[in-house]
Amino acid sequence: MNKRLLYLAEGTVICVALSISGCGKYLDIAPDMRTDLDSPEKVGELLATAYPQANYIPFTEILSDNAGDKGTGNAPVVNSAPYHFQDVSDIHQDSPTYYWNASYTAIAAANHALQAIERNGNTEAYQPYKGEALVARAYAHFMLAVLFAQPYEEHAAANLPGIPYVTEVEDVVIKRYERRTVAYVYDQIEKDLLEGLSLLDDGVYISPKFHFTTAAAHAFASRYYLFKRAYAKALEHANAVFGEGSFASNLRPVNSEAYRSLQYLELAAHYTRADNPANILLVEVPTLWGRSYPNYRYGFTVATWNEVFGANVTGGVWGYGVYGSDMTLNIPKFREHFVRQSLHAETGIPYNMVPLFTAEEVLFNRAEAKAMMGDFVGALADLNDYAATRMGYDYQNPVYMPDLHKITRDKLLGFYRTFSMEEALVKCILDFKRVNFLHEGQRWFDIVRHNLGVVHRTADNRILTLGPNDPMRIAQIPQEAQSAGVELNPR
């Protein structure tokens, strides 16, 4: 386990990366070996670890329809198993088990912070950190629910198994847990999220892009309520991020001359920079994804490229630069930071910055909420703001031309061959999101929300289908969690 996380694993049997015996010795020491949590500043330092320091992208991206089979290339189990809709047996970084462990480690950090705040009198100075701890705890549980439980359906949520919602610091080596229900988990997420949001104060952060600022918490809320199909609330929170007007100035100017002039490594670095206005919340995670995704056997292929970047409703072409050969096609989005184990060591841990929330997602969340509420004009305005930053006339002249590329009602209905504006708008949003979040794993979230099927084709002409009710859509809870009473998902 990453040494930076080790001190938080005390008592967290759900965090199965530690053995039972390993957990025991950590019960004998303070949860934060650096200091006692006796000031707001120290609590704030602890909360830097209240975000899952693991990467979901390697398995969510490959589960989705963004992935194909190149027929050759690097294919470790963390890459091959998701493509074949199989459980990932690997428990190390980039696996579902590693993400499960890291999420409960983050939850443990949030709970330790909340306990310290109560012990120190829950005074005014602690309130922003209490807010961050609550929102961070809600986020980690939300991601676990999305990945390891069935999606929220209002008519069924009270009868579907969720995930353990942990709100207390553990003081025993082995503690029993209940999965409760999806409805219960989502209710607890909402409770923590809204209470925490009301307490946040952006002024306490030195590096705000790595914390749940007010904007980041509203971005999270817009995603949460979209999953719950509470569209009015999703719209309210999306508007609270940048205001009710245009988001254009916060979007990545992909088709601009300045952006297109950046070289490969510059593009990779710029995409996840904290000073990039499109990035709302970032997290640094140990992962091989940034160095490996162009070379993995299962990933972005020529066939996927033709499908995703083919004809679109604007009539223009996408402004993204796609790099590499047929076997290594990629859009540069991750710049690795390699931490050596010692000054002269050749071994170490690779890290990537991962955008958890972006301006583009908030715009899409708002547009979808508007579409579902019948505000077709408003949804079109958001999509046109987005298209203006992405589309061009052709690859030799990648300049957006409003007269040619503006999305209209007639264009939408004709392109998607439907009489329903709601249907056409949602399909357009999902198509735009699929391109925007290539290599970022978020396509899987839309597949989960909209109960879409996925078809994978193998190089030896097998067709693998993941239907809407397939149990393999839900990641398997780690076997070791059974010792804490956590029931596994059906297989």
Question: How far is the CA of 141 from the CAs of 60, 135, 403, in angstroms?
Answer: 17, 10, 45
pLDDT at position 1 is 36
Two structure tokens written together for 263: 């070289």
Tens-place pLDDT, residues 432-482: 999 999 999 999 999 999 999 999 999 999 999 999 999 999 999 998 898
pLDDT at position 173 is 56
pLDDT band for 178, please (50, 70, 90 cuts): confident
Tens-place pLDDT, residues 425-439: 999 999 999 999 999
* pLDDT over 80 at 193, yes or no: yes
Three-state SS at 272: coil
pLDDT band for 395, please (50, 70, 90 cuts): confident
Q: Which residues contact 25 (CB under 8 A, 6 or more apart)?
A: none
pLDDT at position 35 is 53
Torsion angle of the four alpha carbons 210, 434, 379, 417, in this order, in degrees rounded to the nearest 10: -170
Three-state SS at 110: helix
pLDDT mean across residues, the chain: 92
pLDDT band for 201, please (50, 70, 90 cuts): very high
* pLDDT over 80 at 206, yes or no: yes
pLDDT at position 8 is 34
* pLDDT over 50 at 10, yes or no: no
pLDDT at position 18 is 33
Two structure tokens written together for 176: 């029993």
Tens-place pLDDT, residues 59-86: 999 999 999 999 999 999 999 999 999 9
* pLDDT over 70 at 352, yes or no: yes
* pLDDT over 60 at 12, yes or no: no
Question: How far is the CA of 280 from the CAs of 275, 277, 343, 426, in angstroms?
Answer: 10, 7, 33, 24
* pLDDT over 70 at 11, yes or no: no
Helix (H) or strand (E) holding 280: strand 279-286
User: Mean of the pLDDT values across residues 32-52?
Assistant: 85
As a whole number of angstroms, the distance between CA 437 and CA 397 comes to 24
Q: Which residues is 128 bridged to in the sheet?
A: none
As a whole number of angstroms, the distance between CA 280 and CA 376 comes to 26
As a whole number of angstroms, the distance between CA 114 and CA 37 comes to 10
Tens-place pLDDT, residues 266-321: 999 999 999 999 999 999 999 999 999 999 999 999 999 999 999 999 999 999 99
Q: What percent of the chain has pLDDT over 70?
A: 92
User: Mean of the pLDDT values across residues 250-259?
Assistant: 96
Q: Are 13 and 483 in contact (CB under 8 A)?
A: yes
User: Mean of the pLDDT values across residues 175-181?
Assistant: 87
More confident residue, 244 or 274: 274
pLDDT at position 484 is 84
